[in-house]
Amino acid sequence: MKNKGLNNRFDMGRLNSIFAFHYKCLWCDKAGADCFHHIISASSPNYKEGEFNSSILNACPIHNHGCHLYNSELHNTENEKMLLKKVLKILALESVGMNDLDREFFYIYRELYGY
């Protein structure tokens, strides 16, 4: 998937290798996800500033048009929790190891995961 529009700070090499065969949009559950959305971004009421926000745990495959752009529901806390858990499940199923950035992100936002 290409990085559409804004520079999103994700490690695109790592992101693309992990999600290489995952084409489903995590918002609508339909095929054809074409960008990565920051689940927790500066627009989120749960946002905390830091480099940890570029963690792969914060990267949500999504349809840019129709699901991402102008979707005010994405930053509803319950929806953020749902998307974070979906990404974590995918990464666990793919046996993706966490790096220091991922561990810090998980720790900072642990309450959103239910911990």
Amino acid at 106: F
Domain housing 34: 12-113
What tokens were used for 9? 């700070």
Establish if 7 belongs to a structural domain: no
CB 80 within 8 A of CB 40: yes
What is the per-residue pLDDT across 39-52, written as a single tens digit (0 to 9) for each?
Answer: 999 989 999 999 99
Question: Which pLDDT score is estimated for 21?
Answer: 83
Q: Per the structure, how many domains does the chain have?
A: 1
Q: Is the dihedral of CA 44, 88, 56, 12 positive or negative?
A: negative
Question: Which pLDDT score is estimated for 20?
Answer: 84
Question: Which pLDDT score is estimated for 1?
Answer: 43
Mean pLDDT by 10 residues, the chain (115 residues): 51 88 93 94 94 95 95 95 96 91 97 94
What tokens were used for 111? 């309450």
3 state DSSP class of 64:
helix
Question: Which pLDDT score is estimated for 5?
Answer: 39
Cα separation, 113 vs 85, in Å, equals: 7
- Whole-angstrom CA distances from 113 to 35, 71, 78 are 23, 22, 10
Establish if 42 belongs to a structural domain: yes
